[in-house]
Chain A
């Protein structure tokens, strides 16, 4: 099956610093990638959708200047949390899809971000 990786798997940073998380589709070309955030014991909430070569589409309430998304190639998307604060501590999960509509999304293993 399709494999999606994320790096790093966990990161601890100081408040005010920026953190970059990578999401890679290893064996297929991902025309669309998605970024989710999951707080403890809660469900996944979609943050943004990014199509290769286009600007990301952010969900309501998600600050695009704080969560920078780049989808420069068909196998890589990055999420940068800028000026991180403790409330940004969460589990960030990406997914990738090779199609445009109703296609199965393949999920990465997630990145645990802790901001001190």
Chain B
């Protein structure tokens, strides 16, 4: 079963605006990862945040983690048309099994 749940399921914003996606999970984690998937393509690893970290930045990406609420958020600032994709959070269930959330389909309108 999917451990992560994401909201919103779909998000449509104007280019230049910020996009925020949320992920919730059910069990304790070692780390949480965010991936991007362009339509019909494989996954691109965006960022990994460890359970003892609260916030992490990578370029225009900002990820937060609240282990007390079992939730994480991904913020994309100054969005571009090329950011249009599906975004998934993923956590480990056990040591090897990566479980993905349902994903957020992000559309950036020019």
Contacts and interface: CB of A to CB of B under 8 A. Distances in A.
Q: A and B: partners? A: yes
B41 A109 contact: yes
A4 B43 CA distance: 11
B40 A44 contact: no
Interface in A67-110: 91, 93, 95, 97, 100-102, 104-110
Given A43-B88, A43-B102, A44-B88, A101 B41 contact: no
B105 to A, nearest CB: 8
Interface centre among B35, B96, B99, B105 (most CB of A within 10 A): B96
Contact of A101 (B48, B95, B105): B95
Interface residues on A, range: 20 to 34
Contacts, number: 55
A102 B101 contact: no
Contacts of B96: 32, 34, 49, 97, 100-101
A59 to B, nearest CB: 8
A7 interface: no
Nearest to A6: B42
21 contacts: A4-B42, A34-B98, A42-B102, A46-B98, A46-B99, A49-B96, A100-B95, A101-B95, A102-B30, A102-B31, A104-B33, A104-B45, A104-B48, A105-B45, A105-B98, A107-B42, A107-B43, A107-B44, A109-B41, A110-B40, A110-B42
Give 3 nearest A-B pairs by CB, closest first. Answer: A101-B95, A109-B42, A107-B43
Interface of A: 4, 6, 32, 34, 41-46, 49, 91, 93, 95, 97, 100-102, 104-110, 112
